[in-house]
Amino acid sequence: MRILLLGYGKMGKTIEKIALERGHSIVGKIDIDNRSEMDALKPADVDVAIEFSAPEAAYSNITYCLKKGWPVVSGTTGWLEHRAEIEKLCLEQNGAFFYASNYSIGVNLFFRLNRQLARLMNGHGYEQSMTEIHHIHKLDAPSGTAITLAEAISDEIDNLEGWKLAPENEAGYLQITSKREGEVPGTHIVRYESEVDTIEISHTAHSRAGFALGAVVSAEWLPGRNGVFGMNDLLKI
């Protein structure tokens, strides 16, 4: 399979390594300094694009690929105010777009656990909060994974209207504390507190390899399909 990489930072390099190990070829490695090189690629040169760039570049990158007829797997966060536009364009172009805030298989199972726990905790008087920790190079806060977790909790807890990023704190909103430390790949802690006890669930990534493998597996799955997809489609959960 011929893969175009959009974003060639640490995540892009890890994706490249895993893709090559799985027998794929990399037809382009596009970053901020060489974006014009995409124009030299013909529609038939690329089987799928994997996009892990930056929030300010994601929308234009994905739009370009969909108009070129290339299936796109995207994991960039911080641009999702434009997601509805991208999904509309994908359907108009009869294209294929796969998005996940986190490509780790473990995290996607954690998403299911998080929703189930929130459903069980509803109505029992606990206060909900979340902490997410990432490396100092991560530009957006809170993380896309934290937002996905928070939205699921808000769906299941009757007295929650949404989330707020600390130091903002308001009744009826789950507070998310974002920390940027060293080279932490990603830690997410969901907490329920009462006067008598605390319940926590957490996911800690040990490296970027789990995220990269999930992105490559998604890229292997996507070509030949049309529509908008996510990890639930891939994992059949």
pLDDT tens by residue, 162-180: 999 999 999 999 999 999 9
Pick the catalytic residue from 10, 13, 82, 138.
138
- Provide, rounded to the nearest whole percent, the portion of the chain with pLDDT above 70: 100
Distance CA 217, CA 205 (A): 18
Domain ranges of the chain: 2-103+209-235, 105-204
What is the pLDDT of the chain when averaged over all its residues? 94
Residue 179: alpha-carbon gap to chain centroid: 18
Other CB atoms within a 10 A radius of the CB of residue 2 amount to: 16
pLDDT tens by residue, 111-132: 999 999 999 999 999 999 999 9
* Domain 2-103+209-235 class, CATH top level: alpha beta
Note if 82 is an active site residue: no
What pLDDT shows up at residue 123?
94
The side-by-side arrangement of strands in the sheet containing 48-51 is: 25-30, 2-6, 48-51, 72-74, 96-99, 227-229
What pLDDT shows up at residue 138?
87
Pick the catalytic residue from 24, 134, 188, 203.
134
pLDDT winner (highest mean) among 36-40, 135-139, 200-204: 200-204
Task: Evaluate if residue 92 carries a pLDDT over 90.
Answer: yes
Note if 138 is an active site residue: yes
pLDDT tens by residue, 223-234: 999 999 999 899
Is 218 within any annotated ligand binding site?
Answer: no
**If you average pLDDT over residues 42-67, what whole number do you get?**
95
Is 145 within any annotated ligand binding site?
Answer: yes
pLDDT tens by residue, 5-19: 999 998 999 999 999
Strands 187-193 and 127-134, by their bridges, are: antiparallel
pTM: 0.77
What pLDDT shows up at residue 237?
60
Task: Evaluate if residue 214 carries a pLDDT over 70.
Answer: yes
* Domain 105-204 class, CATH top level: alpha beta
